[in-house]
Structure 1
């Protein structure tokens, strides 16, 4: 079978695919690692049966599909494919695969780390220690929360949300879950509750829901007002899920804390000691990119062997994904 890379910029291929992974890929399909398309055009596209796509790949619109008459599979080396694979792709019987499950792993790991640190009030104690250059007294340290018997609220049983619940199992933490698409939380080891109850009972609230019109400002001023004083809100999903103005005001008052890996541009957040901001690093970076590529290579190997896709995208539920 003939496969073609579609990455923009093309240098991403070297970041994702180690020499060993490229060699394994070439065992199963005909592919030129030096040929990386940034647009759907040219003779290579016309011959391609498999497209290996990555971040920055353009949408596969009707014009692109006309230029790829032999295309049968799209193997995406990242998470969501909503912006690549529209209805036209599935209408033509093209099968699409995503590495959303693999990309969920580092996001869940990041979130777990932040939960454990937030419950021990690490940032507050670190800031006080750094500024005073004196260790706080034992009374201060011993009153710094802790992780025993604390409650974590997970918003969204997405791939990341489910992976996080799995990672939480060894810890002495009680998990609450809000997801209006679920009838029960069987197998998730979480207590399924409504959003107001989750906000009110949780020591840490973490968001893993998709960005949809109906989830815009899912966590708004009312929900933030329900949070326990000193509780922490974590967002690694999309900025639109949170009313950032309401959150900024609550953090500025010292009522709650925030860990935000995604934000709308807002200089005020950068000045708040109660907000920990990270530059969208929860997802795959560094060696974690190789895990995405390895999953894509395994998918291609299965295609070449005539097996069904392991991580097929269902067009019927694609609109519900992040």
Structure 2
């Protein structure tokens, strides 16, 4: 959604109505900054964030070294976080799922939100009410073996490639982790989020100490917001799983989606914590998938499940792995 801007005033207010006039102006400014043209204005602002350096739309990625190396990325539509290795000791259990934040401004806000110390509160620009926990969240993955998803710990290295312009682009490395007792795997994953879309493009390359193919499970976490399971749409022919989350009180709903290359699908199923798309991949060969996210009170204007499903299904996405 486009954000209304505060009105500029050029004439002075004089006389006995000065205090009343200034109070009205302050209320108007606060309302204009907090509201979008959707339902975001129904959230009370607890304490406003410091103003942004610019209100221009930008796609950014950064490592929050002040918060256990949380890695934040966002564009004008959506915002996300993954967790660094340092958080494993500070806030156990900590997992390698993808966190998704609601936002209702076009400019970057997540760094200022996290620095506030209250990322779960609404301060006028967005909030984190999605509880990724140890689920796969909004598109994390693992190796499916023996009816179980074997997952990495938090990322250990990050490489920011582009930030602050038309696209956020970075990669992270995950240290080797066991698959049962007879195999180890490791991963490098690249994340790319340009302006104007709700979809992050992810390119995963999974190494292994064995050359046989792997079954990778990419997930959307269960029971991450509100009460109940939410609504799931599955379209195997399009390689699509879409989730319309349950209402979470005044916070509203989160909507998530996965898109994969249909030719790679081995199965679509669930475990105790996640809705999963299972793909057959070869060690050392990159594969592409997309993770989509939206807040029904935020940018994009998705007020119904049907609107979100239509957007997710209608995106033309490229699953060709990069050559570099």
Structure that is richer in helix per residue: 1
Report which of the two structures shows the higher radius of gyration computed on alpha carbons. 1
Both proteins in one fold, TM over 0.5: no
Instruction: Give TM-score scaled by structure 1 length.
Output: 0.27
Instruction: Give TM-score scaled by structure 2 length.
Output: 0.27
